[in-house]
A and B are shown apart, each in its own frame.
Chain A
């Protein structure tokens, strides 16, 4: 279980608790001729409380990886361990518990429930967790205020712009105070200023509450906030960098923009 993954230095592995670990993770979509390998043997380690950025070109397998470590899809081969427990060993009820309270998800395509208002969408995970409607409503409003669309609480997804929907999705992901926050391109549809605000929220959550944030992105501002960055290419992890080591790299990439 503690097999050395190539992306972890022995010193780091020994010193810090691991929260998500992947072992030889593979994911194939389809079968036979049309089979596509989205992940081809990924070993990764994410430490408790860190801010991990996942970077890579489109189609490299970021969303697939995200679904695997979020226990939302079953891998073709390999294992996912959350807090050193193999996700495949969990019962349906335990999985639901995990998804409901311990992990917050911000999906690339938001996945809001169409017929619910912004507030109701935010309240869904709290309802599943058995939180009383009054508390859920109050907390939901607070979270909507936090992401800056408190005044829009009565609107349905179709009545909102992409960016507004994304902010509802962010508020929803925080509703049960998760230990892990999984974000798939949380700033993709936001203007520069709002994007910065959202990144600031993510940073705060990470620094102040100690929530582990795993964030797939193309937004290079994130590189300033994150602790480490994982480069994904063709379903494999290219390399993992500590941010302090790549200060220069960021500058160079920023120059390219």
Chain B
């Protein structure tokens, strides 16, 4: 009569396991709260880094863009006075941004080339060669380029025009034992001997075309000041530009007009500030010393409509016709530009990297990525530690449950659920805390600018990622020691502590 052994133990449903582990947790609420708090802190740290990284990245990027916008006027005026340099043209051929595309369209017109395809191919090859040269060690580079200006890859390529120089260059390059050049030697020779001269010829054609265009604009406008023209921005001037082949859009003209008007106002003010009586009047009003009076000092002083009125009154003898409202607007613009400059110049990581647009939530600059990586490790260690502590002190409990007939799967499940619940609650609390702190810091650092460019979708995915990381780490860190203990015979587990 055998009636003891040889039957399978019943499996408890996941729902039952969940209920049991919730009861367990509520009984050990105090201990759970400690674990959850540590989890929350770890996740808070990570989510703080991600959130702050995202906000500061985008704010700085937007500030940089806005500042760049201000430079539009200068760039445009330059192009209306002298042709682009060969290196600028080459850079515009290889760049992918919108502005460069507009430039290429202009070049196409001025050079009167049917298709840019061949030119673009040569430019790309030359660019690859330039990248290759730039990654060589400095000493190698010095030997190879000799006294050539290595900033200009076009100049370097042109200097290799003679067969003798090209041979000696290749000999040095092959002897240097560095990473081999992209493409074959054959291709390179072809590039230098036929490609580069073609490109150089094309560039000259572009520059000549641009000179002609500049001359046309100048004769049409009878030598008037460009800023004044832009500020007026008549339809006639716009069509003159278009006829000459300068790329323009109505939107760009609106912007240019605004910028030109601002520039003219500033010029007026600068001019007025050179006059003695204006300086003394302003000094009296503002409490600044007369020799200190200049744009940089006066504009920050104009902080209210009242002061703007005073300043306008002081300026009236100069007869420049700047109203109080204009002065106040000018002062506000300067404040904004200064703020933008501060923000754009500020660097989260201290590495001072040039910012480029993000693609996705973690594609930051290298420094920020590094900081987030470190905070991830801190988070992982924190979570793992909290969970390990809360699990190892419960090996006796695991052993007891196994003595009383618990299946391994049951033990695993209740600890898993517990870790999951703790991870979810702790993660959520940490997420709220971390995001809050990041927003506070951004506001303190960037002022209202921080709230103009909040990437909500990315913040959401970043937060979700931090939360999931906390959750996965919590579950992983809890489950691995439990698995170790649950596998053992009950009394072995009992001795493990």
Contacts and interface: CB of A to CB of B under 8 A. Distances in A.
Interface of A: 17, 19, 67, 70, 72-74, 82-85, 90-94, 96-102, 105, 107, 111-116, 124-125, 127-130, 172, 176, 179-180
Contacts of B402: 96, 99
B354 interface: no
B489 interface: yes
Contacts of B4: 19, 82-83, 85, 98, 102, 179-180
Contacts of A91: 8
Contact of B5 (A73, A98, A129): A98
A128 B9 CA distance: 8
Nearest to A102: B4
3 residue pairs, one from A and one from B, having the closest CB atoms: A100-B405, A73-B491, A115-B27
Contacts of A73: 489-492
A176 B10 CA distance: 14
A107 B403 CA distance: 10
Contacts of A17: 1
B452 interface: no
B166 to A, nearest CB: 74
B490 A72 contact: yes
A99 B405 contact: yes
B407 interface: yes
Contact of B8 (A67, A94, A105): A94
Interface residues of B, number: 34
Contacts of B1: 17
Given A17-B1, A97-B7, A127-B12, A72 B404 contact: no
A99 B404 contact: yes
B99 interface: no
Given A17-B1, A111-B396, A125 B6 contact: no
Nearest to A101: B405
Given A83-B5, A102-B4, A116 B27 contact: yes
A85 B405 contact: no
Nearest to A94: B6
A196 B129 CA distance: 97
Contact of B404 (A85, A90, A124, A130): A124
A72 B8 contact: no
B3 interface: yes
Interface in B395-426: 396-397, 399-408, 410
Contacts of A102: 4-5
A115 B28 CA distance: 6
A114 B489 CA distance: 21
Contacts of A90: 5-6
B20 interface: yes
B408 A92 contact: yes
A105 B403 contact: yes
Interface in B17-60: 20, 24, 27-28
A153 to B, nearest CB: 15
A129 B2 contact: no
A172 B404 CA distance: 9
A180 B4 CA distance: 9
Contacts of A97: 5, 7-9, 405
Contacts of A105: 403-404
Given A73-B491, A92-B407, A93-B407, 16 more contacts: A72-B403, A73-B492, A74-B492, A84-B2, A85-B2, A85-B6, A98-B5, A99-B403, A101-B405, A102-B4, A114-B397, A127-B16, A127-B20, A128-B406, A176-B405, A179-B4
